[in-house]
Amino acid sequence: MKTEEMIDGIVAKLLADYEDDRAINKTDLAYQPNKEAILNILKKLFKIIYPGYYHDRSYKLYSVRNDLAATIEDVTYNLHKQVFTVFKYCNTYPYKDDRAIDSIAQEKVVSFLDTIPRIREYLDTDLQATLDGDPAAESKDEIILCYPGIYAITVYRIAHELVKLDIPMLPRIMTEHAHNLTGIDINPGATIGKYFFIDHGTGIVIGETTVIGEHVKIYQGVTLGALSTKGGQTLKSIKRHPTIGNNVTIYSGASILGGDTVIEDNVVVGGNAFITKSVEKDTQVIVKKPELKESKI
């Protein structure tokens, strides 16, 4: 069989396979979010949030105002386009026409941009917590440019504001991008207070309904998850993940599970602990040291 004939045969089989209504077969891209465009918006938001670190190479000190204005204009236009698209794609407002949805999208974008000073305020505390908590950190410059934890937290804080504005899909695209880059999985629906410090970070999972207070430190491999997801979609909008109080430290490999689980203030959770019930304040929870056995081979 010639190559051309083989290709024609495969194409015919795939076209026939595309004919049912499975989600995997969707080929209409008219109102589909553009992942590349969304990640480009995220990149521009980093430039706004950290102007001295993510600026263009042609950036000049005297042009800060012009550069900022141009970046915000770019974000406004492209984010508006993506928000409108995702509203249509997710059928968020099925009872409104395109003009009304476009107006709502514009209002949402303006409301989001108004939150950037607050995002920066929270991130400044996260930077301070990281500097204070990590003796290996040389400076905040190093943390911003090098630390995966602060990158993941920044993306989360951006995405969380979009969640609060009831904008679907875009926040998850952003946080899953950060997850892919850093190994840190923070659902944008989680609520996280100021002075949040992630050390190392790889393997951290923070579920959608998690609530975290202020001055919380989390190490690699920690899971703040659901006790069970057996109910699937029936558990949607139910508090499934734990609540963590203020001044809590959770060491590597610990798992804290369940929507009714509350870790109160000033608690230290040791490495590899498995917790499914609440812990009172001013408590240390550790796993009993296992016995190490040696024998001749």
Which residue in 160, 186, 161, 159 sits closest to 174, CA to CA?
159
Round to whole Å and give the CA distance between 80 and 82.
6
CA dihedral 255, 259, 265, 271 (to 10 degrees): 0
pLDDT value, residue 62: 54
Which residue in 273, 297, 296, 295 sits closest to 284, CA to CA?
273
Average pLDDT over residues 180-198: 98
Say if residue 231's pLDDT is above 80: no
pLDDT band at 30 (very low <50, low <70, confident <90, very high): low
Coil vs helix vs strand at 137? coil
Instruction: Answer yes or no: CATH 1.20.1070.10 is held by domain 28-184.
Output: no
Of the segments 15-19, 142-146, 224-228, which one has the largest average pLDDT value? 142-146
Q: Backbone phi, then psi, for 238, in 5-degree steps?
A: -100, 140
Domain boundaries, the chain: 28-184, 190-287
pLDDT per position as a tens digit, 167-182: 999 999 999 999 999 9
Residue the block writes with tokens 């202020």: 214
Go through 217-254 and write b for each residue having 16 or more CB atoms within 10 A of its CB, e for each that does not. bbbbbbbbbbeeeeeeeeeeeeebbbbbbbbbbbbbbb
The dihedral through the CA atoms of 66, 37, 152, 281 has a sign that is: positive
Round to whole Å and give the CA distance between 200 and 222.
11
For the 190-287 domain, the top CATH level (class) is: mainly beta
Average pLDDT over residues 96-118: 97
Q: Which two tokens stand for residue 168?
A: 């679907």
Containing H/E element for 269? strand 268-269
> In the structure, how many helices (H) and strands (E) does the chain have?
8, 14
pLDDT band at 29 (very low <50, low <70, confident <90, very high): low
pLDDT per position as a tens digit, 108-119: 999 999 999 999
